Every structure is written in structure tokens, then in C-alpha cells.
Amino acid sequence: MKKFAAIAATLAMALAPFASQAATTSAFSPGDLIKGSGSAVYYFAADGHRYVFPNAQTYFTWYKDFSGVKQIPDSMLAQLPLARQNVTYRPGRKMIKITTDPSVYVVDRGGVLRHVGSEQLAQTLYGLSWKGNVDDVADAFFVNYKVGTGIDTASDFKPADVMTITSTIAQDKGLDDTQATVTIGSTTNGFVPSSMTVKKGTTVTWTNGDLGSHTIVGSGWASGSLSTDQTYSHTFPGTGSFDYKDNGSSMQGTINVVQ
């Protein structure tokens, strides 16, 4: 007699009880954490994609809590494509091992796992209580990582330094922070996000995620007709608040450019 049971382990984190009825916003920017009415939180990146946190441990290597998570309308969330890779552990923060493999790894930039050769080395890097700094990663999430070269001496890897130079998920993924992406949604969803704040000199790319064609027009620039999946880019060299609209519908959006 064999029995099959699916274990769906979910971690519930009690936060502000009013979070579920929080007002939604359509204004968010690259680097923001976003969610819909569901529970999952995503990292919205410069490439216009949303990045999934495969589990809570991964999230907490990057963030202390859920403050700053913006709730956006579900229809807008659905318009944002999922990234082709998931968020991985913040480099240097913790060591990990795979459930069914006894090897212990440090996490280097870009989700690269580097095997820690000995217990002494683990102690040197993470202290006597290094075992408390090892997380078990489920087999199914191993594909999120790549295995790099191992670590033989403590000088090969300095956890604090690696953490310092990788303070954001965008840095970890090697995303260009002078880029930002707006998805042209359906006429009911409008631009996703409809309002975005970027730094001076950022190139904003509009990607048409709608089945119909759209032409976006700003002050002194216009895209020409964009059919599905076509893109248009415009660089904002000076600060200010710049409105733009879709020719032929009531869709409009704003790019706020700051120093």
C-alpha cells in the first residue's frame, strides 16, 4: 500500500492586517516590490519583467520586511511578463545546500554557487556558528542557480564585500540601471506602470503588450505605430515631469525624471 501526499508548505507572515484592503496604485518604478490582490510579491525590474521570489528565505536575504510593497491592480500585474529567471539569494548573505546533496555552497553574484571545501573554511567565512547560516534549498529550485568554481581559501570569497557590492537584485542580475520599461497594456489597463520615476539620463522603452497597434506621443517625440511586441525607446536627459499619451485612445502616462 502506497500513499501519495502533496505537501504545499506556505509561510504566512502576519503583517499589517489592513494590507489586503490597501488601495492599489498604478505608479511604480524599476526596483520596486509589487504585488496583486494575491499574496506573492515580485521585484519589478528595469527590463519591465517581474521577478519571482521562489520562497520566503530568498526574499528575506534581500529585505527585512514587507514595508514598501506596492499593491497594483491584478489586471496590470497580469500584463507584466514574468522574468526568465527567478530571484536568487543575496550574494554573501547565507550559505545554502540542496536538500539531497550534502555539499555546502556560498552564493556569489548572479546566483552562482561555489562549493565550500572544508568545515574550517566555512568557519572562517561565517564564524563558529556557520551551521546556523546554511539554508536548505528545495531540489526544484536548484535550477535557479549555476555552479561555479569552488572556494579553496578564505581569500577566494569575502561575504561582507560581496554583499556590499550587490545591494540590489538589479545588480545581482546584471541589469542596466539606466534602462526602464513600460508595457503598453490594453486600453482598459493603460500603460503599466502609468507613472514611473527614473533618474536623469534613463532610456525608457515602451513594449506593446496589446494585440492592437499603438502610437505613443510625448512632447517633442513620437513612436510611430507599434504593433504587438514592438518597442520604442526614448532617453530623458533632463529632470522634470513628462506626460505622454496614446494616439487614438484615452491612455496616458507620466515619466518623472529626477536627479
Partner 1 sequence: MKRLFSSLSIALLALSALPVHAATLAPGDLIKGPNATVYYYGQNGQRYVFPTPNTYFTWYSDFSSVKTLTASELADLPLGGNATYRPGVKLVKITTDPKVYAVGSHGTLRWIETETAAQALYGMDWNKKVDDVPDAFFINYSMGPSIKNASDFSPSAQMDAAPSINVDKQLSGAPATPTTPVTPVTPVTPVVPTTPTSTTPVTPVATSTSPLTLTVSKTVLQPSDVETLNSNYTGTDLVSKTELFFDGSLVTSCTAKTCSGDALVPRSGTKPSYVAETHVTLANGQVLTQSMTMNVQTDGSSLVTIVPAQLVVKSDQNVGMTAYADTSLAVSRIDINVDGTNVHACTGTGLTCSWSLVLTGGEGALHPVYATVQDSLGRTYTSKTVNITNSTKDVPAVTVTPAKTTIYDGESVDVTVTASSNVGVSSIDVIKDGVSIKHCTSGAPCTATTGPWTKGSSLIFSGNAVDALGTTGTAMSQQPVVVTARP
Contact positions with partner 1 (CB under 8 A) in 105-134: 108-112
CA–CA dist 122, 116 (Å, integer): 7
- Evaluate whether 210 touches 183 at the Cβ level (below 8 Å): no
Closer to partner 1 by Cβ: residue 36 or 253: 36
Site for partner 1 in 8-47 (CB under 8 A): 8-15, 17, 19-20, 35-36, 38-42, 47
- Evaluate whether 194 touches 27 at the Cβ level (below 8 Å): yes
Site for partner 1 in 224-253 (CB under 8 A): 229-231, 233, 235
Kindly tell me which residue out of 118, 120, 127, 139 binds partner 1, with binding defined by CB under 8 A: 139
Q: What is the DSSP secondary-structure string of 161-198?
A: HHHHH--SHHHHHT--TTEEEEEE--TTT-EESSEEEE
**Are β-strands 104-108 and 112-115 bridged in parallel, bridged antiparallel, or unpaired?**
antiparallel
Closer to partner 1 by Cβ: residue 199 or 252: 199
- Evaluate whether 41 touches 69 at the Cβ level (below 8 Å): yes
The nearest distance, CB 205 to partner 1, in angstroms, is 9
- Evaluate whether 100 touches 139 at the Cβ level (below 8 Å): yes
Kindly tell me which residue out of 24, 25, 31, 55 binds partner 1, with binding defined by CB under 8 A: 55
CA–CA dist 43, 173 (Å, integer): 12
| E strand or H helix that includes residue 75 | helix 74-79
Closer to partner 1 by Cβ: residue 40 or 154: 40
Q: How many CA atoms lie within 13 A of 182 on its CB side?
A: 33
- Evaluate whether 187 touches 75 at the Cβ level (below 8 Å): no
Kindly tell me which residue out of 31, 73, 117, 148 binds partner 1, with binding defined by CB under 8 A: 148
The nearest distance, CB 65 to partner 1, in angstroms, is 10
Closer to partner 1 by Cβ: residue 98 or 252: 98
Q: How many residues bind partner 1 (CB under 8 A)?
A: 81
The nearest distance, CB 128 to partner 1, in angstroms, is 26
Determine, following the binding rule CB under 8 A, whether residue 68 of this chain makes contact with partner 1.
no
Closer to partner 1 by Cβ: residue 42 or 89: 42
Site for partner 1 in 164-223 (CB under 8 A): 172-179, 201-203, 207
Closer to partner 1 by Cβ: residue 7 or 160: 7
- Evaluate whether 224 touches 248 at the Cβ level (below 8 Å): no
Determine, following the binding rule CB under 8 A, whether residue 150 of this chain makes contact with partner 1.
no
